[in-house]
Amino acid sequence: MALKLGDYKTDVHNDWCPGCGDFGIVNALQMALAEMGIERDKATIFSGIGCSGKTSHFINTYGVHTLHGRVLTFAQGGKLANPDMTVVAVGGDGDGLGIGAGHFVAAGRRNIDMTYIIFDNGVYGLTKGQASPTLKLGEKTKSLPSPNPNSNVNPIGLAVASGYTFVARGYSYDVRHLKDLIIQAVKHKGLSFLDVLQPCPTYNDVNTRDWYAGVDLAKESMGRHSRIYKLEDTQFDPTVNYAGEVEVNEKLSQALIKSLEWGDKIPTGVFYKNELVSPFSTRITDNIPNYLENPPAKQIISNNGIPNTDISKILDSLDV
Amino acid sequence: MSSTDFTWLIGGPQGSGVESGANIFSKVCAQMGYQIFGKREFYSNIKGEHSYFTVRISDENIHSNVNDVNLMVSFDAETIFRHFDEISSDGGIIYDSELENITTDKVRTLDTPFKDRLHELLESKNKPFTIAGVLELAKENGTTLYPVSFKSLLQHLSEEVDNPRLRNLVRMYNVIGVSLSLGLMKMSSTSLVNSIDDIFSKKPQIAEINKQTANYSYNFAFNNFKNFNYNLTGISKQPDTILVQGHFGTSLGKMVSGCRFQSYYPITPASDESVYLESNEILEIENGRPGSTIVVQTEDEISAIGMMIGASLTGTRSSTSTSGPGFALMTEALGWAGINEVPIVITLYQRSGPSTGLPTRHGQDDLLFTVFAGCGDFPKIVYASGDIEESFYDTGNCFNYADKFQIPVIHMMDKFLSSSVVTCKKFNPKKISIDRGKLLDKVEGEYKRFAFTDDGISPRSKLGMDNGVFWNTGDESDEMGHITEDPQIRIKMMDKRMSRLDLMLKSIPITQQAVSFEIHDYTIISWGSTKGPIIDAQSMLKKEGIDIGFIQIKLLHPFPTEYVQSLLKDAKVLIDIEANHSGQLGKIFKQNISRDIDYHILKYTGRGMTSTEIYDSLKKIVQNKAAKREVLSHGA
C-alpha cells in the first residue's frame, strides 16, 4: 500500500513558535519520505537538542532524539550497524557547528551514506536567543546585550573542507525546493549535508523572513528582489564529473567561493557533489567482504543461548 | 616438596625490546611447564625512558608479583641504578660490563628525586655514584654478579657466523639478555629457539639472526657463568594452559558474547583491546557464514559512546573500551543510555588519576566516580573482574546484564591486569551463555517501547525492525518514547527504571555478586585486580598458620548488601585493600553496610601491589602492630 504524506505525521503536539521556519523543514522531510516511498520502519530520524531536536517526535518513523551536539555520533553508529536503514540526522546550527563541531568535521572524513540537515537560524532559540555559530560578526539580534563578538562559521565551506560529498543549502520557506534537495541528499551515495536557512521569528530579528525575501531591497529595486536565488538557475555545475585532481579542486574551490556569497544575494541549491569518493561501507567491505549482506544488526550470535562464535583457532595459538 | 618460585627482571629503555625479550622468556618458561605471572611497567613515553618487565615463575599457581627479584638482566645503566636493591641475596645480576664506569649524571632519564635518594644512599655507604658503586652494594648483600661485554659478545658472534652486520646490532641486546639468563639457569634451549620462531614467524630472516644470537649467548652463559642458586629444569605441563596478555580476556569475551560493534578513542591502557578486536575482525561462526566486528576509531570518547548507543539501538551488542579520562567524557551519554534503557557495555581499564595522573600506571581510583557517573538517577551496573581469566567469563555476564536489564554496564578492569602476561586455564567459550532479555524477534500489534510492565522491563524493538517504530529522547518520555513533563508519568517512569536495581540483586546469581575465599576473624574486603596478590598473601600466611579471610566483591553497583552482610557475619576485623588513596570500596561498604572498616591497606604509587607487601601488612595487623591506614610503596 502506497504511503501518503499523512502516514509520516505523528499526533505529537508541535510546540514551535507560530511562524517558525522549522515547520517548513519538517513538512519538506515528510514530503520527501512519502515521495521516495520509504517505509516508516526502514528510516530513522536522529535529532540533536534544541527546537530542531524535537523534529524526530513529529515524524512517524523511528526517531532518536539524542544529546546536544552528538546527533551525528548516534546516527553514524546506527547506520554502520544497520546499513539497510535510511538515516537522516537533524539539528540546529549551535548543535552541529558549536558544541558538535568536532563530530561535524570527523563525519566528513568517513563519508557514511546518510544525510545531515542543519536548521540554521543564527540563534540558540530554546535558551532564549543567544548568538549561535552562524550569526555574523557584529550582528545584534534582539536578546543579545551587545553585538556578536565572534565571526561566523561557514557551514557550506566547512562541509566542503571536511569531506562531505554532497553539500547543499535550502530555505525553509521554499518547501518544494527543499523537498527536492532532501530527496537528492538522501539518494546521494555518501554523506550529504543540507544547510537550511530558517528564520527564528522570536529571537532573530536580523535575518527575518522579510529580510530573506528582500523586502528592504524592494524599496530600491523595482523587479525581483528576494535575496535567495537558486544555483540551478545559473550556469553553476556542482558535480565532480570525473576523477582527477584538477576537476576535484575546481569543483571544491568554486563551492568554497560560492559559500562566501552573502548579503544581497544568497545562493541555495547544490554547491558540491562528488560520488567518486568511496562511501564508508566500501571501505569496510575492503576488509570485511560480507559486511553489507551480514552487517552487525543482522548477525546471529547464538544458537538457543549458546554462543556460535568459534575462537578455537585463536585459543589454540595461545597454548603453551 | 621444594617448589620453584623465581622472579626474573629485564629492563631497558623504552623501544629497546624489553617487552619482546620478556615475551620470549615467558614463552620458554611456559613451554617448560611453569606457571607465569609477568607484569610490564613503563613511562608515558615512546622511546628512551625506563621500562621493565618482571616475570615470576612457579610450579604452583601464582597470581601476583613478589618484592624480591632473583635474577636481573640489564643492557642499560638505568635498570641497574633503579633495581639493584631489589635483588635477593641468593640472586644474580647479568649486566653489560661496558657500563661499569657510567655515572648517575650520564643517565639523563634518571629524574632528580630518584637521583637524590640514590646519592644519599651511596654517600652513606662510601660508594661512588657509578654502576660499579651500586653493584658493590648488591654484592655486599650477597648477590652474584655476571658481567659480560655485550659488545664483544656480538663481535665474536659476527666473526663466527661471518656476518659483519651483527657486529653493531644493538637491537639484539634484548635477545642476548634473555638467552644469557636461560643459559645461566640451564633452561631449555630448544624452547628458546621455538619461542623465537613463534614470535618472528612472519619474518624468517629476522628469526634466523635472532636464533644465531640466542644460541651463541645461551652457550656463553651455560659455559662461563657459575654458582647460581637456581636451575630451572622444567616440570610436566599442565593440560589446557594458555599464556595470555591482559586484554585477551575481555577481547575474546566480547567476540564470544556476540559483541559486533566497538567504537573507541585511543587511550592507555584500554586501546590494546580495540586494536586486537580489529585485528581479528572477521569471526568464524559455527555452521554459518563469517561474522564480523565493526571497530570504529572515533574522534573522541563522546563519539565513541554515541556511536555505540546508536549501534545498540539496532539490536547489535555494542561496546567501547576506555580509561578514566575517556569515561569522564562519556558520562552525559551514559545518562542518555540510562533513561532510554539502552544496553551497552563500557570496559573501563582504569589507570591512576586524577586528570591525566600517571597515564601508564596502575590505579583503582575510579570506583566512586563510576558508581556515581552521570547526572540524575538511573540504574546501571558496575562490575569488576579480579583477573584475566575471570574477565573472559565476566564479559559474557556483562552483556547479559545489559540486555536483560536494558541498562549500561561498566566493566571495571585496570592497568595491572592490562599489562600482565599470565598463564591460566584455557578459556571455555561454552561456559558463556547469551541471554538477550526482552529483545524482540518480531513485533505484532501496537508497540510501545517503554510500556509499563510488571517487572519494569519493556519488550525491546530495534531500529529498522518491521512494525517496531519507537522514539527515544533524553527528556523524560511516555510509553511511546515521546517527551512528557507530566508529574504522574514522571513518577511511574522513574519508578519503572529504578526498580531494576532491586531486580538485579534478586536475579544475578550470588556467585556472580561476590566471591568468598574463606571467612575468618580477620577478613579482607577488596575488588578488582588486588585479588591476585591478596590470595597469594593469604596462602603465604596460611602456611604459617595464620588464617585470613577474603571477600572479593564483583558487583559494586548496585551493592549486594544482604549477601555481603551475610558473608561477613563471623568476621571480627575488616581489612579493606585497594589501589587508591581514599579507600573507595570502604566508603561504599560503609554507605551500604553500617559497619566500620578496621584497617585500610592502600597503594597509590601507580605500581601494582605485590603479595609480599600485602603479606607484610597483614602480618602487622594480626600482630596488632599496624596503623589503621597502611600505605604501600614497593616498586620502581
CATH class name, domain B512-632: alpha beta
Is B192 within 8 Å of B181 (Cβ atoms)? no
DSSP 3-state percent helix, strand, coil across chain B (nearest 5): 40, 20, 35
* Distances A253 to A237, B509, B541, B593, B598 between C-alpha atoms, Å: 12, 63, 75, 67, 71
Tens-place pLDDT, residues B223-241: 999 889 898 989 999 999 9
Is B176 within 8 Å of B20 (Cβ atoms)? no
Nearest CA in chain A to B436: A305
Q: Where in chain B is the domain with CATH 3.40.920.10?
A: 5-224
What is the CA B521 to chain-centroid distance, rounded? 30
Q: What is the pLDDT of residue B594?
A: 87
Tell me, yes or no, whether A145 lies in a domain: yes
* Structure-block grid coordinates of residue A103: 563530530
* Structure-block grid coordinates of residue B49: 625512558
Shortest alpha-carbon distance between residue A49 and chain B (Å): 9
Q: How confident is the model at residue A223 (pLDDT cuts 50, 70, 90)?
A: low
Span B418-445, average pLDDT? 97
Tens-place pLDDT, residues A262-301: 999 999 999 999 999 999 999 999 999 999 999 999 999 9
Sign of the C-alpha dihedral computed for residues A198, A202, A203 and A206 taken in this order: positive
* Neighbour count for residue B139 (Cβ, 10 Å): 13
Tens-place pLDDT, residues B173-227: 999 999 999 999 999 899 999 999 988 888 998 899 999 999 999 999 999 998 8
Percentage of the residues of chain B whose pLDDT score is greater than 70: 100
Tens-place pLDDT, residues B92-110: 999 999 999 999 999 999 9
Query: Is pLDDT at A149 greater than 60 in this prediction?
Result: yes
Mean pLDDT over the full length of chain B: 96
Query: Is pLDDT at A224 greater than 80 in this prediction?
Result: no
Q: Where in chain B is the domain with CATH 3.40.50.970?
A: 244-431
Q: How confident is the model at residue A1 (pLDDT cuts 50, 70, 90)?
A: low
Q: What is the DSSP letter of B17?
A: S
- Please indicate whether, in this complex, the C-beta atoms of A80 and B296 are within 8 angstroms of each other: yes
Tens-place pLDDT, residues A152-163: 999 999 999 999
Q: How far apart are CA B382 and CA B380, in angstroms?
A: 7
Tens-place pLDDT, residues B263-276: 999 999 999 999 99
Among candidates B292, B307, B332 on the partner chain, residue whose Cβ is nearest the Cβ of A77: B307
ipTM over 0.95: yes
Tell me the sheet residues that pair with A193. Answer: A116, A167
Q: How far apart are CA B70 and CA B87, in angstroms?
A: 6
What's the CATH code of the domain at A22? 3.40.50.970
Tens-place pLDDT, residues B298-349: 999 999 999 999 999 999 999 999 999 999 999 999 999 999 999 999 999 9
Q: Which fold has domain B5-224?
A: Pyruvate-ferredoxin Oxidoreductase; domain 3 (3.40.920)
Query: Is pLDDT at B470 greater than 70 in this prediction?
Result: yes
Query: Is pLDDT at B403 greater than 70 in this prediction?
Result: yes
Is B472 within 8 Å of B481 (Cβ atoms)? yes
Shortest alpha-carbon distance between residue B417 and chain A (Å): 17
| B 259-318 → A contacts, CB under 8 A | 260-261, 263, 280-294, 296, 298-300, 302-318
By residue range, what is the domain housing residue A281? 5-285
Query: Is pLDDT at B1 greater than 70 in this prediction?
Result: no
| B 360-379 → A contacts, CB under 8 A | none
Q: Which CATH number fits domain B244-431: 3.40.50.970, 3.40.50.300, 3.40.50.2300, 3.40.50.1820?
A: 3.40.50.970
Tell me, yes or no, whether A302 lies in a domain: no
Q: Enumerate the residues of chain A whose CB falls inside 8 A of the CB of residue B25.
A: none
DSSP states of A144-198 as a string? -SS---SPPP-HHHHHHHHT-SEEEEEETT-HHHHHHHHHHHHHSSSEEEEEEE-
Tens-place pLDDT, residues B7-26: 999 999 999 899 999 999 99
| A 62-121 → B contacts, CB under 8 A | 62-67, 70, 72-82, 84-85, 102-103, 105-106
Span B234-254, average pLDDT? 96
Span B473-478, average pLDDT? 98
Q: Enumerate the residues of chain A whose CB falls inside 8 A of the CB of residue B28.
A: none
Tens-place pLDDT, residues B589-623: 999 998 999 999 999 999 999 999 999 999 999 99
Query: Is pLDDT at B512 greater than 80 in this prediction?
Result: yes
Q: How confident is the model at residue A221 (pLDDT cuts 50, 70, 90)?
A: low
Among candidates A62, A67, A84 on the partner chain, residue whose Cβ is nearest the Cβ of B333: A67
Percentage of the residues of chain B whose pLDDT score is greater than 90: 95
Query: What is the tally of structural domains in chain A?
Result: 1
Q: How confident is the model at residue B3 (pLDDT cuts 50, 70, 90)?
A: confident
